[in-house]
Structure 1
Amino acid sequence: MSFSVAGKSVIVTGAANGVGLAIARRFVKEGANVVLADMDDNGLKAEVDKGTEEETSARTFAGDLRQHLAQANLLSATIDAFERVDVLINAARQVLPSDPMDPKADEVEEMLSQNLMGSLRLSQLVAKRMIKQAEGDEDEGPVGAIVNLSSIAARCTQPGLMGYSISTAAADQMTRALAVELAPHRIRVNAVAFGSVLSNSLNTRIKANPDYRDNIIKGTPMGRIAKPGAVAEAAQFLASDAASFITGQVVTVDGGRSLLDPVNAPAH
């Protein structure tokens, strides 16, 4: 099987910076037709200024993808540009601290809206389009692929990140549920849960707290913080025909970080 994504029509959300941008750039480089979508219009324009949209295989779309109208417009723009959609990468994500003991706080709702519901609604919309594209097609090959971005926080939470942990755990279960539902339609759904990767949010935190870098490196068996390209490579694999019999899986990309027990004492 080939790892190629050349010629595939791909939507990448959260593509204005960080991991989402790294994924979009990789897919463009590998010959895919890519729509870079984000609510950060300035970030997308900056990417255009760097020349990404000069490539005939790349377009940009600015909008709040938590809103149904923006999602519908994104799909329409993709069809107008490339006539079809083969791959959806749900890379739009948000990290906010939350206080588990504050009953008036709304960070959990915000995290669920951004990290779960936006991806779910867009996945449903795009999956229906993929199914429609395959109508009357006698080919028994793959119809489409959806890749969600998650986090090791779904399993290994930290103080102050309850909302983020809940939302990513929900995204993992959404991945499994959609995989079962869409498998008969030959649409695969998988996720990449990452940690110890220099995302935009982690980069911001390291700048504010320089000690974080050494702590992360010490807590990662592979002894380094990976670049966003590590997630982009995993996303390409899951989107390609090389993963044609893989669905409902959450692939961990964290250098082994989630394998460690941070307490240096026997558990039993």
Structure 2
Amino acid sequence: MGLSIQGKTAIITGAANGVGLAIARHFIDQGAKVMLADRDKARLKDECGDIDGAEDNIRYFAGDLRERLTIENLISATIDAYDRIDILVNASRQILTTDPLDPHDTSVEAMLEQNTFTALRLGQAVAKRMIAQAEASEQEDGPAGSIINLSSIAARRTHLDLMGYSIATAALDQATRSLAVALAPHRIRVNGVAFGSVMSASLKDSLSETDGLRQEIRECTPLGRIASAREVTSAVQFLASDGAGFVTGETLTVDGGRTLLDSVTTAAH
């Protein structure tokens, strides 16, 4: 078994920027057929429209995936374009600061809806399609699909300003484990990738707004730097590929050793 995803069909959410965009471009480069999903269709086309020779392997879908009907429309659009779904990457994330002592702060609810419930609902809907594909196939063994949820090391840390994000990602990690057990009899694997400080759009904003944050992150990371968004893509490809055929229910940590030091004073994005 190799790590190839060539010819496989993938849905990637949050594909217009940051880590989601890096994963989308990488999957396209690796020969996958990709449905790029985000709220901003114009930005999707601007960011991924320059990949030479990939026109037949890219489709775009714009919509608010917090709405159940939008999820159904995304799946229908993918089936119309490619006839099947092999991989789902839930890369759409929202990061808001939280005041843990303010009962009127709604950031926890917002991030649970965006980061946890949306990923869970989409995963359930895509899994239903994957099960139908497997039942219609004459192949009685082998992989039937792979779902990957992007999480964060914030799920295992305590940073008061990121309380809502920590709650949402911790819940997502549990959803990953629960779905992995539920879908294992159908030969569908569910895993996650939890990363630390990756140069995403949100982290760029934080670095520009907070003096000294870049150095703090470097000092808290044994590898001594902030990761590029593309450094997450190899982990995602591994989990999506048949090379990870006996891996399910795991959340792979990609953080440069950050959690080994257990520093809780510096935000992880």
Q: CA deviation at 1:62?
A: 0.6
8 Å CA contact retained: 2:151, 2:172: yes
Instruction: Tell me the amino acid that sits aligned with residue 187 of structure 2.
Output: R
- TM alignment of 1:120-131, pairs within 5 A: 120-131=120-131
Question: How many residues end up aligned between the 2 structures?
Answer: 263
Give the TM-score taking structure 1 as reference length: 0.95
Give distance in 2, aligned partners of 1:52 and 1:105: 46
Secondary structure at the counterpart of residue 111 of structure 1? helix
172-181 vs 74-83, which moves further: 74-83
Secondary structure of residue in 1 paired with 2:56: coil
Q: Distance between the aligned counterparts of 2:96 and 2:158, measured in 1? A: 13
Q: Contact 1:53–1:59 (CA<8 Å) still a contact in 2?
A: no
The change in CA–CA distance for 1:240 and 1:48 in structure 2 (over 3 A counts) is closer
Q: Pick closer, same or farther for the CA change 1:49–1:143 going to 2, 3 Å.
A: closer
Deviates more, 1:55-64 or 1:248-257: 55-64
CA offset digits 1:19-50 (Å, max 9, x no partner):
00000100000000001100123321322553
- Offset, 1:197: 1.3
Q: Unpaired segments of 5 or more residues in structure 1?
A: 264-268
**Could you tell me how far apart the structure 1 residues matched to 2:181 and 2:32 are?**
27
Q: What is the SS of the residue equivalent to 1:11?
A: strand
1:136 Cα offset (Å) = 3.9
Structure 1: distance between partners of 2:42 and 2:137: 40
* Equivalent position of 1:184 in the other structure: 185
| Alpha-carbon distance in structure 1 between the residues aligned to 2:75 and 2:18 | 23
> Is residue 239 of structure 2 the alignment partner of residue 246 of structure 1?
no
Query: Who is 1:142 aligned against?
Result: 143
Structure-to-structure mapping, 1:190-209, within 5 angstroms: 190-209=191-210
- Long gaps (5+) in structure 2: 265-269
Query: Closer, same or farther in 2 for the Cα pair 1:136/1:71, shift >3 Å?
Result: closer
- Between the aligned partners of 1:53 and 1:176, the Cα distance in structure 2 is 38
Deviation at 1:159, TM superposition (A): 2.2
Q: For residues 201 and 8 of structure 1, what CA distance do their matches in structure 2 show?
A: 30
SS in 2 for 1:56: helix
TM-score (norm 2): 0.94
The 8 Å contact of residues 150 and 171 in structure 1, kept in 2 or not, is answered as yes
**Partner Cα separation in structure 2 for residue 12 and residue 261 of structure 1:** 31
Q: 1:14 touches 1:91 (CA, 8 Å); kept in 2?
A: yes
Q: What is the CA-CA distance between 1:52 and the residue it aligns to?
A: 7.2
Moved more, 161-170 or 130-139: 130-139
Within-5 A mapping of 1:1-268? 1-51=1-51, 55-139=55-139, 140-262=141-263
Q: Is the 8 A contact 1:48 1:54 kept in 2?
A: no
Aligned letter for 2:263? P
Q: CA RMSD in A?
A: 1.4
Q: Identity, % of aligned pairs?
A: 59
Q: Measure, in 2, the Cα distance between the counterparts of 1:46 and 1:52.
A: 13
> Secondary structure in 1 aligned to 2:135?
coil
Paired residue secondary structure (1:161)? helix
The whole-number CA distance in structure 2 between the counterparts of 1:194 and 1:129 is 29
